[in-house]
Every structure is written in structure tokens, then in C-alpha cells.
Amino acid sequence: MSTPHQYRITPKDPGAHIFEIALTVARPDPSGQVFSIAAWVPGSYMIRDLARHVVSIRAEADGQEIGLTKIDKSSWQADACDVAITLTAEIFAYDLNVRGAHLDTTHGFFDGACVFPAVVGQEDLACELEILQPDGRAGSDWRVVTSMRAIDAPRYGFGRFAAEDYAELIDHPVEMGDIQIGEFEAGGIPHVIAVRGHVHFDIARICHDLSTLCSYHLKLMGTPKGFDRYVFLLYVQEDAYGGLEHRWSSSLACSRRDLPQRGESGVSARYRKFLGLCSHEYFHLWNVKRMSPEKFTPHDLLAEVHTGLLWVFEGITSYYDHLALVRSGLVTTTSYLEHLGRAITRLTRNRGRFRQTLEESSFNAWTHFYQQNPNSSNAIVSYYTKGSLVALALDLTIRKDTDGKASLDDVMHECWSRYGESAEGMPERGIESVARAVSGLELADFFERFVRGTTDLPLQGLLKEVGVNLHMRPASNGNDLGGKPGAKNGAPAPWIGAELADSAGKSTFGVVHSGSPAEKAGIAPGDVAVALDNLRLGADTIDIRLREHHVGDTVTISVFRDEHLMKFQVKLAAPPEDTCYLELQSDPDARIKKMRDAWLKGA
């Protein structure tokens, strides 16, 4: 049996944010071992060139330094050598993010892709990792939380860990510091939530709710082979939101206001969003981590990997994240419909849905979704939002056309049994062939129009079939996210079609919608608002200013573009009906009620 690669990580200088990594390779490539650091982090589809954070790197063999040559932006080659090589690197870690590495005197966190070099050509070999405590005062009372299997470490302590191969080594993020820990079971499997950040909240309630949620997912999808533990690593800040999926854990960030306080009952929109985030990352342990696109098997971490399927892995996950909340009883049907209404509102306001298909959105994630510009809302569509609504439309279409005999649940079960835990992964049209096979429906037209085309989804008709009425109305004001009937008092303000937001003491135009009065008049993203008809205009006053006029009036909007004062004649339009809310039909017939229960209760 081959000797595992020996990795060691030391929080070497927390004050200077430096991790030191040592890697010993027992049998290096005799013609000159190549080492590389990932250009991107699995699950986050953007080139980040993580090797740029390497501060120093050297190699030695038999206690002697040997040559190490940089051969491209991410890789180094050691001199030819036929004994064990130890590579030592210092890495600057100051990217506080769910997919980054961060070290200071209060804590350390890393995603393995950011810090561990790969031994090129020997990625399949087992790896052992030693996590050392920092020297000095920082870290004396730190705990360590990771889903990596411990081989010699106390529970929540520093020590030695093991992974089957490099892919697994970088799939267990590690948090170290002053951490609150909650433990619970789901499906008989131990789960942990580890929370960092000074925060008071009801951890017992969160453990209870997550247990309900994880149990639901395990029942829906079945327990994967070897799934014997799970860790939610949560970092709480004043204002944060995000998550990254792993096979045995997830790394999450949220706002302290998202978490329930002791004694608080009910589920606020913020707590629903937090539970939705946990649910999303947990569903990924099947959908993308153990069942992934064929193009991702194995991952090439040095360059972009393009697939038209991200909507399946992110969009369908975004559909099930909140659906699981209502099906498991954590949120009410009304709360779930509010969430869906908000998603439909986001898609309706996104004019880019007519310009980019869902498949193109997936394929171009690297350069478009992850690198947006001020025109993105007019030019691209989100494979999360549209993907989740295509999943809803597909689910309801299958339910309707099979008279309730099949659903998206069956499609996901069949995808899992065909492509889950397989070495091959899902081919580019895999979901389509499975959906056809499971439902017995043709569906070619569905995928052509809604995945490879830009036709709007027929959600109103589909929702009606499950006893839900879809209503559209104009936005009440600039903060109206949809999901609710909206204010009844008075007509909505006339519309210019440009968003205004405050930052750094200025009100600046952001998105200027395609074909809107603001675009026709010449207002551009980045223009700083000054006045409307000579009265001060800002994000706080735009609604008031616009309400002083009528649809069809022409007003003068003054802005600064750089240092130039510019004036535009803007003809006010009627606001579009781009805001959605959903209502349960009060008295559906028995067939519709049965369909609705099957959908929302998973019955």
C-alpha cells in the first residue's frame, strides 16, 4: 500500500494572516514532481487563481533544499528526485468568505482548495492532515470543527485527520476558534452546527428545526453510502449571506438578525431564509456533491469547466430548499407561497430572461453570472431563480399530465439511482431523458422552450391546477419584493425604470431597465441623482417625487456623471405589473385539493 501524502497546516502567524502548509510526498515523480494550487473552488464557478496568495514556497529532500520552478500561474515543478520531498508554503489567508481562507488572532477558517497544493498525478492517493495549534497566546482555547475523519484528535480538538484522496481532503472546510456547538441527530446520523461570531440566539431551537429538515431530506433522497456525519459551519456577521456545499458539511454565512432569539416563536422571513440556506446546502450533498455533471468528473481545478447543467444542480436545489421547509412543517403554506411569489417577482423583473436561456446561463456562469456588470439584469438570467421556477413548472407539468402519478421527486430519485455516486456523472441531456422515462411524457417542447429558449413559464395555469392563484401587480415602492398583496392605498407611483440606491452618502442609479423611460432619456448606471424638476432627488425621496406627477408627464432629472451636471427629459410611464403574489384557492374541488396536498405535503 502506498504511503499517504502527509499534509500539515499551522496557523503560523495569526497577526499577519499566514498559514504554513507542509506537504511530504513519499514517492515523487522521479522526472520532477509537479504541485498545483486550484484556480477555482468547487461549487463556486469563477477563476480565482488561488496560487496568488502564496507568499513563499520551497522544496526539500533529505534535509537539503532542492530546486522548485514555477511553470505556470498555478503550478511548480521540483527538481528530479527519487526520495521523499517536502514542500513548504506560506499562504496569506485574509478572505473572510464561505469559500476562502481567513486567519487572524480570533480564529482560523479554510476551504482546502485555497491552501492545499495537489500532488499532480497522485491525486488519488490517501491524504493525512495534521492541524496544529498556533504558537503563543492566540489559539490556546480554540476548538476545531471539521467533518474530516479524525485519526488522532480529541473531539473538537487539534490533531490528525485523514481523507481518501485529494478531492476529499479539500472537501472538508475547517473552522478553529471560539465556537458555539450544537449537536443533533437526523435519520440516526450525528449532525453538528458550529457557530462562530459573537451572537446570542436559540441554538436548541435551531438544532430542533435542522433535525426536522435534515430528516426530511434523508427520507426524500435516501441516505448515501458512507454518510455517517454532517457539519454545518456557520459564520455570523452583521450582514452576510452565503453558503458552499460539501459532501459531509457546508460552510455558511448569515446575518445575526436571521437567527431566532430564545423565547421567539414563529418563522420570520429572515429565519425562513436562513433555514432555506441550510436546506439548500444540505440538498447539495446529493445534488452536485454525489451526483454531478459528467463534465465535473473529475474536476479540473486549473481551468473553467463548462456545463449547461448548472440549472439542474443549483436551480432544482433552489426549488427543493424551500419546498422542504413547507413539506416538513417548518413553515406554513402561506409563508412558502410568499417565498415563491418573491422568486417569480425576481424573474419577472429580470429582462435578461428574454436574452439568455437557462442553458446559456449555466454554461456562461464563469464570465457572466459570477462577473456581473451594470447591464446584467438586462442581459442574463439567474440559473438559480429561473432554474428553481423551471423545476416548479416541470414538477407541476408532470403532476398535471400524469394525473398525479409522477412528479419531480420521482425524476430526482431516478437521476440519483442512475447518476448518483457514479464515476460518470450526469450527461448534458441526462435530466431530460430521465424526466421522459419516469413520466412517460414527451416533454421535448418543455425543454426547448424553457431551458433552451426564452419563452416565459406558464406558471399561472400550472399553479391553478394545484389550487393556487397567481396575481401580478405593480410594485408599491422601491423596497417591494413581492410575495404579498401589497398596499391598498392609492395608485402606485409613475415609473422611470431605473433603480436608485444610497451608498457612500450618495444616491446612485444602478440598473437601468431595457426600454424604460430612464434608458430612453439617457440616464446611465453610475449617474448620481441630484434633482427631479429642481427638487432634491435621492433614494429616500424618489417615490415621493414621482407621486407628485402623473403617467405621461415629462420631468427633468438632473444627475452628475463624473463631474458633469447633466439633465434628462424623462416621460413617466405606468409601472409594469412585475410583482407577484400567490393565494390559495379557498374552495378547490377534491381533485385539485389532492394535487395540492401531494405537491406541498409530499404525500
By the criterion CB under 5 A, which residues form the site for Zn ion?
314
CA distances from 491 to 119, 210, 494, 543, 555 (A): 65, 43, 9, 12, 19
Q: Are 545 and 493 in contact (CB under 8 A)?
A: no
Q: Which residues contact 566 (CB under 8 A, 6 or more apart)?
A: 522, 527, 558, 559, 560
At closest approach, how far in Å is the CB of 77 from Zn ion? Answer: 35
* Shortest spacing between CB 560 and Zn ion, in angstroms: 39
CB of 243: closest distance to Zn ion in angstroms? 7
Nearer to Zn ion, 246 or 545 (CB): 246
Kindly tell me which of 281 and 409 has the beta carbon lying closer to Zn ion: 281
Nearer residue to Zn ion within complex by CB, 314 or 395 = 314
Segments in 69-130 forming alpha helices (H): 112-115
Helix 316-327 × helix 408-419 angle, to 10°: 120
What's the min distance (Å) between Cβ of 302 and Zn ion? 23
Least separation in angstroms between residue 278's CB and Zn ion is 12
- Are the beta carbons of 191 and 214 closer than 8 angstroms? yes
Closest approach of Zn ion to the CB of residue 481, in Å: 21
Quote the least distance from Cβ 165 to Zn ion, whole Å: 23
Burial 466-494 (b: 16+ CB within 10 A, else e): bbbebebbbbbeeebebbbebeeeeebbb
Burial class of 2 by CB neighbour count within 10 A (0 to 12, 13 to 18, 19+): exposed
Closer residue to Zn ion in complex, CB, 314/465: 314
> Rounded CA gap, 401 and 404, in Å?
8
Q: Tell me whether residue 165 is exposed, middle or buried, using C-beta atoms within 10 angstroms of its C-beta: 0 to 12, 13 to 18, 19 or more.
A: middle
Name the residue type at position 234. Answer: L
Torsion of CA 416, 418, 424, 429, to 10 degrees: -90
Q: What is the DSSP letter of 497?
A: -
Q: Which is nearer to Zn ion, 138 or 220 (CB)?
A: 220
Question: Least Å distance between CB 232 and Zn ion?
Answer: 14
Cβ proximity to Zn ion, 207 vs 252, nearer residue? 252
Give the closest residue to 151 by CA, choosing from 134, 133, 129, 123: 129
Distance, in Å, from the CA atom of 321 to the CA atom of 326, rounded to the nearest integer, reads 10
Q: How many helices (H) and strands (E) would you count in the chain?
A: 17, 29
Coil, helix or strand at residue 8: strand
Least distance in Å: CB of 195 to Zn ion? 21
CB of 252 vs Zn ion, minimal distance in Å: 11
Nearer to Zn ion, 184 or 383 (CB): 383
> Which CB, 53 or 246, lies closer to Zn ion?
246
Q: Which is nearer to Zn ion, 48 or 289 (CB)?
A: 289
Q: Please, which residue, 177 or 276, has the CB nearer to Zn ion?
A: 276
DSSP class per residue in 211-263: HHHHHHHHHHH-PPTT---EEEEEEEESS--EEEE-SSEEEEEEEGGGSPPTT
Name the residue whose CB lies closest to Zn ion. 314
Closer of 34 and 254 to Zn ion (Cβ): 254
DSSP line for 122-145: -TTS-EEEEEPPPSSSTTTT-EEE
**With contact defined as beta carbons under 8 Å apart, do 132 and 14 qualify?**
no
Shortest Å distance, C-beta 387 to Zn ion: 10
